[in-house]
Copies of this chain bind each other. A is one copy, B any other.
């Protein structure tokens, strides 16, 4: 069954048609990744029979090439609202599902003028939770280049270099391999590493300091994501204790996942998060100030979620990060992040870089 057929099958149950606005969902269903992620340049409409793509003159040529969608041209003389109204009438759509997490208030006002709307219940995001073979291959390729990038960047870490220089080198390395970053690399030295999403600065690296590296690669629109924390010299006892706790929290989560899957028990994102979180707390550290992990694919962060509020059941075909962290303001932080693919045989760690303490 094609992805579009899967959508059609699901939409029959609850609504007559689905309006798709999010860029990852558009890429998922059309394969075309050329629309801006910052501006609204296209919508898809999946009705019971036909499928439509609404876009403007800049994209007519490319849209025409995709035979699965009928092109509806948007222009000054044919606004999206007008065009949508026509299709709503033609297709006899009573209830139009929209993505409430993506549609903006101004857009809702326009859509409501021409259609009765309801929530799409994250239908496409639901399908995207589990990956098919091609998707898995792409994420694995991205992880592989990520591992290579880590190996390369280790050789570039030296006293006196800056966070910005390293972040830049990561990006250039990935680009030189013909691929792109999946997000701006996070490079944090010393006490800066206590900020989980630190923005790289001109700060210079000093001896024995923590170096936190969080980066990802995007290949064929699919993302990787990994974090390693290494030491620019000797690791001291305080640093070592933090590191070992984080690594153990990650290992515990992965091992629990293994044994639960082996015993055919279902496991939720909430449960896995709790295992790592409680371990960190049990060692006297503050709780992890973020989720234990997140799904990854066309987006760096997508479903399933591994967090204290997650209800996602972890099943075969899912790829997600497991990334505990401990952060001590004024001192620094450690995070170790790997991607895990869940298979019938159990979890497979698809980021391969060394997880043991590295002293440079």
- Using CB atoms and an 8 Å cutoff, list the residues of chain A in contact with chain B: 32-34, 36-39, 41, 56-62, 75-76, 98, 100-106, 108-109, 168, 171-172, 175-176, 178, 183, 194-199, 289-290, 299-301, 307-309, 329
Asked if B104 contacts A199 (CB within 8 A), the reply is: no
A299 neighbours in B (Cβ, 8 Å): 38
Identity of the chain B residue whose Cβ is nearest the Cβ of A186 in the assembled complex: B34
- Known A104-B104, A172-B176: A62·B301 in contact at CB below 8 Å: no
Partner of A172, one of B175, B197, B300: B175
- Known A58-B290, A108-B105: A197·B34 in contact at CB below 8 Å: yes
Asked if A61 contacts B195 (CB within 8 A), the reply is: yes
Partner of A100, one of B58, B105, B307, B329: B105
Could you say how many copies of this chain the assembly holds? 2
Asked if B105 contacts A195 (CB within 8 A), the reply is: no
Identity of the chain B residue whose Cβ is nearest the Cβ of A35 in the assembled complex: B197
Asked if A101 contacts B108 (CB within 8 A), the reply is: no
Q: Complex formed: what's the CA distance from A102 to B39 in Å?
A: 10
A307 neighbours in B (Cβ, 8 Å): 76
Q: Complex formed: what's the CA distance from A105 to B117 in Å?
A: 12
Identity of the chain B residue whose Cβ is nearest the Cβ of A164 in the assembled complex: B178
Asked if B289 contacts A199 (CB within 8 A), the reply is: no
Q: Complex formed: what's the CA distance from A199 to B168 in Å?
A: 25
